[in-house]
């Protein structure tokens, strides 16, 4: 099969690829539009939006998207997030691997992150040299908190009433290209910052679009303090935002409440020193 593996360098190409991925992942039109707008905003500095496989007639056979995550905390290495990888059956096999290989070769000095791969994609990427992060994704549903005996603890109710009067919600900065918010809490005479993003889970089934509000916890200033108050703070978020599910993507200590699912975060770099680095900020989790 004659095909070309190429970077996605302009908005017209990006729009076509998102159309291809939208059909492959069954995204709603609203979700596809959000992803398009988010990539145009977040990737201005690097001028690339992903990679695609094109056959000799110009048909898209496979693609994935990239999100520029900027520099990590020590300002020495840039992070870039790979997401939404899909290849048609006719191009699976060597071509799909060459697609990833070209990307890895083009960005040898970047930490390449992947925070939401399914099991099959995870196994392929691991075989290509991706490493497991020590931080992983945990998902909790509305029912994890509502159908919990702690809900009827008067101390929790008192805590929530007090918290509602004292919490501070603010934008991270005036030119915030990521759709994230910072909550600052006073807990045990200590300040706890929690960076979150609000999301709308959408699934198109036939002619129907199903939508559920969700919240992602992307980063925290104190993993121990957040872990200790996780149930109470999550309940606060659920009540305040009418949130159906909460996912966590940052370092946490052992939680008393159990997640309904756990998935891996992985990265590609020459050594293991970024195993404990936050990979969620600036990734697809801020937008999709």
* More confident position, 209 or 277: 277
* More confident position, 109 or 2: 109
Condensed to tens digits (0 to 9), the pLDDT of residues 221-237 reads 999 999 999 988 998 88
| Lowest-confidence pick of 70-74, 109-113, 141-145 | 70-74
Give the SS3 label for residue 7.
strand
Residue 195: the pLDDT is: 92
Residue 201: the pLDDT is: 78
CA atoms within 13 A on the CB side of 19: 8
CA atoms within 13 A on the CB side of 168: 10
Sign, CA torsion 224/228/233/234: positive
Q: In the chain, helix, strand, coil percent, each to 5?
A: 35, 35, 30
DSSP state of 277: S
Residue 174: the pLDDT is: 41
Mean pLDDT, the chain, integer: 87
Residue 14: the pLDDT is: 97
Residue 173: the pLDDT is: 43
Rounded CA gap, 103 and 272, in Å?
20
* More confident position, 205 or 197: 197
Condensed to tens digits (0 to 9), the pLDDT of residues 145-192 reads 877 766 667 777 777 777 766 666 555 544 455 578 888 888 878 889
Rounded CA gap, 139 and 118, in Å?
15
Task: Using DSSP bridges, classify how beta strands 190-205 and 208-220 pair: parallel, antiparallel or unpaired.
Answer: antiparallel
Residue 1 has pLDDT above 70, yes or no: no
* More confident position, 180 or 18: 18
Average of pLDDT values for 134-143?
A: 93
Q: What share of the chain has pLDDT > 70, as a percent?
A: 90
DSSP result, 67-119: EEEEE-TTSSSEEEEEEEEEE-GGGTTHHHHHHHHHHHHH-TTSEEEES---H
Condensed to tens digits (0 to 9), the pLDDT of residues 59-103 reads 999 999 999 998 876 668 899 999 999 999 877 888 889 999 999
Residue 11: the pLDDT is: 95
């Amino acid at each position: 099969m004659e095909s070309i593996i190429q970077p996605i360098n302009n908005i017209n190409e990006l729009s076509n690829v998102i159309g291809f991925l939208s059909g492959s992942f069954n995204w709603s039109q609203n979700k596809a539009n959000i992803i398009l707008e988010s990539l145009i905003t977040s990737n201005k500095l690097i001028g690339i939006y992903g990679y695609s496989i094109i056959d000799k007639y110009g048909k898209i056979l496979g693609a994935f998207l990239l999100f520029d995550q900027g520099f990590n905390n020590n300002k020495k290495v840039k992070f870039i997030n790979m997401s939404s990888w899909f290849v048609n059956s006719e191009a699976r096999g060597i071509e799909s691997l060459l697609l990833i290989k070209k990307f890895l070769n083009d960005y040898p000095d970047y930490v390449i992150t992947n925070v939401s791969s399914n099991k099959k994609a995870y196994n392929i990427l691991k075989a290509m040299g991706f490493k497991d992060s020590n931080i992983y994704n945990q998902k909790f549903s509305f029912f994890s908190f509502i159908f919990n005996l702690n809900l009827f603890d008067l101390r929790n109710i008192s805590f929530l009433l007090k918290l509602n009067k004292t919490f501070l919600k603010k934008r991270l900065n005036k030119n915030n290209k990521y759709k994230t918010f910072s909550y600052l809490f006073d807990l045990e005479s200590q300040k706890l910052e929690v960076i979150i993003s609000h999301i709308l889970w959408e699934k198109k089934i036939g002619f129907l679009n199903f939508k559920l509000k969700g919240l992602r916890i992307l980063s925290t200033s104190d993993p121990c303090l957040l872990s200790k108050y996780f149930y109470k703070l999550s309940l606060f978020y659920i009540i305040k935002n009418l949130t159906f599910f909460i996912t966590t993507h940052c370092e946490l200590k052992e939680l008393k409440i159990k997640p309904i699912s756990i998935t891996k975060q992985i990265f590609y770099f020459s050594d293991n020193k970024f195993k404990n680095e936050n990979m969620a900020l600036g990734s697809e989790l801020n937008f999709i």
